[in-house]
Amino acid sequence: MTDIAHQNPDLESIHTLLQNVKHIAVVGLSPKSNRPSYRVAAALQGFGYHIIPVRPAVDEVLGEPAYADLYQVPGPIDIVDVFRAPEHVDEIVDACIKRNIAALWLQDGVINEQAAARARQHGIQVIMDRCMYRDYMALMR
């Protein structure tokens, strides 16, 4: 059986997703303001989203408490936004499945076809190799 390459949802579906999410867990969110993860998360926070930093060994980022992993986050998560290398996506998908998280967003350059397929098999909407900030600016403004 041949694996079918991942296809992102159409732009209308991405627009609907961005309209409906409130709580974004940002995995790999750096506390350094010059890093892309920080800049994207800060912008999303400015747009009104609740940002949940997920990064070990950090107490807080952007004024929000940080958690070592997705299992530690006490409240709801609508979408997981990933700024980690592709080889770390499998364990993130495991956590999304166990936590029953509806959507997974893999930022530019984060490509893991097998993990994306496994997430989709569990009913998780997957956006891969796209920037949430850029899509917000293109679709929500």
User: Domain residue spans in the chain?
Assistant: 11-139
CA end-to-end span of the chain = 42
In three-state secondary structure terms, 51 is: strand
Instruction: Return the pLDDT at 2.
Output: 45
d(CA 113, CA 68): 25
- In the chain, at which residue ranges do the beta strands (DSSP E only) sit? 23-27, 50-54, 60-61, 64-65, 79-82, 103-106, 125-128
CATH number for the region 11-139 comes to 3.40.50.720
pTM: 0.95
Instruction: Return the pLDDT at 68.
Output: 97
pLDDT tens for the chain, 141 residues long, are 445 689 999 999 999 999 999 999 999 999 999 999 999 999 999 999 999 999 999 999 999 999 999 999 999 999 999 999 999 999 999 999 999 999 999 999 999 999 999 999 999 999 999 999 999 999 998
